[in-house]
C-alpha cells in the first residue's frame, strides 16, 4: 500500500503546484528532495516541471507540464504527467480562448534493447470561449496507447512508435452533438536526439 500511496501523494502535490502557476525550479527540487527522503535508493524517482510558451501578434500559447517518474524495478517504471494548456487567438470578432487539462499515466517495461509502454490519458476539462457563444465545454477525451521505444547510437537517439485510440463521449459536452461517442485511431512516430 505504501508504494501506491507515494505516487498518489506526488500527483496531488504536483497538481496543486501546476495550478498555482507559481512553481519554480527550486520548489520542485525541494519537493523532490523531501520525497527522496521517504524512498529508498532501490526505487529512485524524478519530478520535473516544464513550461513552454509562444507568442506573436494575435496569438499566445502556454503549456505547463509536471512529470513524475518512479523506478520500481530495473525493468519496470511508471510515469505520470499532468498538463495544463491555454491559448488565445485575438483577431477582433474572431477572438477565442482555449483551455485544457490532461492527465496521463504510462507504465514502461524495459526489455534491454527496447522499451514497451502502456498509456492511459484523460482530458476532462477542455473548454473554448468565443465572444458570440461564451464558454463551450468540449467532450471529455480518453486515449489508450501502446508505445515501443528503440534507442540508437549509444542511447543518444531514440525512435518512439505509438499506436493510440482516442475516444470522446458527448455527454460531457455543453453543446448538443449529433453523435454520442466517437473514436480516432492514430499511429505516431517520434525521433529524438539528445545533445
Stretch among 20-29, 97-106, 155-164, 180-189 having the lowest mean pLDDT: 20-29
Cell digits for 122?
A: 484523460
The answer on pLDDT for 187 being more than 90 is: yes
- Whether the per-residue pLDDT at 171 is higher than 80: the answer is no
Residue 78 has pLDDT above 70, yes or no: yes
pTM for the whole thing? 0.68
d(CA 153, CA 88): 40
94 dihedral zone (left: phi>0; alpha: psi -120 to 50; beta):
alpha
Q: Which of 43-52, 133-142, 145-154 has maximum average pLDDT?
A: 145-154
Q: What is the pLDDT of residue 183?
A: 83
Range from 30-44, 62-76, 83-97, 103-117 carrying the lowest mean pLDDT: 30-44
Q: What percent of the chain has pLDDT over 70?
A: 72
How far is CA 88 from each of CA 20, 55, 72, 174, rounded to the nearest angstrom?
Answer: 20, 10, 40, 20
Domain ranges (residues) in the chain: 91-193
The 10 Å CB-count burial string (b at 16+, else e) for 2-23 is eeeebbeebbebbeebbeeeeb
pLDDT the model gives residue 4: 45
- The pLDDT assigned to 118 comes to 96
| pLDDT per position as a tens digit, 56-73 | 888 899 999 988 888 888
pLDDT at 24 over 60: no
Amino acid at each position: 500500500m505504501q508504494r501506491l500511496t507515494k505516487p498518489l501523494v506526488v500527483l496531488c502535490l504536483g497538481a496543486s503546484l501546476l495550478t498555482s502557476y507559481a512553481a519554480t525550479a527550486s520548489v520542485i527540487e525541494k519537493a523532490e528532495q523531501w520525497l527522496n527522503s521517504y524512498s529508498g535508493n532501490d526505487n529512485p524517482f524524478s519530478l520535473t516541471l516544464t513550461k513552454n510558451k509562444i507568442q506573436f501578434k494575435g496569438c499566445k500559447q502556454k503549456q505547463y507540464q509536471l512529470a513524475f517518474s518512479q523506478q520500481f524495478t530495473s525493468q519496470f517504471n511508471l510515469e505520470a504527467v499532468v498538463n495544463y494548456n491555454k491559448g488565445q487567438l485575438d483577431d477582433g470578432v474572431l477572438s477565442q480562448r482555449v483551455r485544457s487539462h490532461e492527465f496521463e499515466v504510462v507504465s514502461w517495461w524495459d526489455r534491454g534493447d527496447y522499451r514497451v509502454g502502456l498509456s492511459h490519458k484523460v482530458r476532462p476539462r477542455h473548454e473554448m470561449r468565443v465572444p458570440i457563444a461564451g464558454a463551450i465545454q468540449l467532450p471529455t477525451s480518453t486515449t489508450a496507447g501502446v508505445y515501443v521505444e528503440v534507442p540508437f547510437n549509444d542511447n543518444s537517439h531514440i525512435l518512439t512508435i505509438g499506436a493510440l485510440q482516442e475516444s470522446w463521449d458527448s455527454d460531457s459536452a455543453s453543446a448538443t452533438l449529433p453523435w454520442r461517442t466517437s473514436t480516432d485511431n492514430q499511429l505516431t512516430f517520434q525521433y529524438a536526439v539528445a545533445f
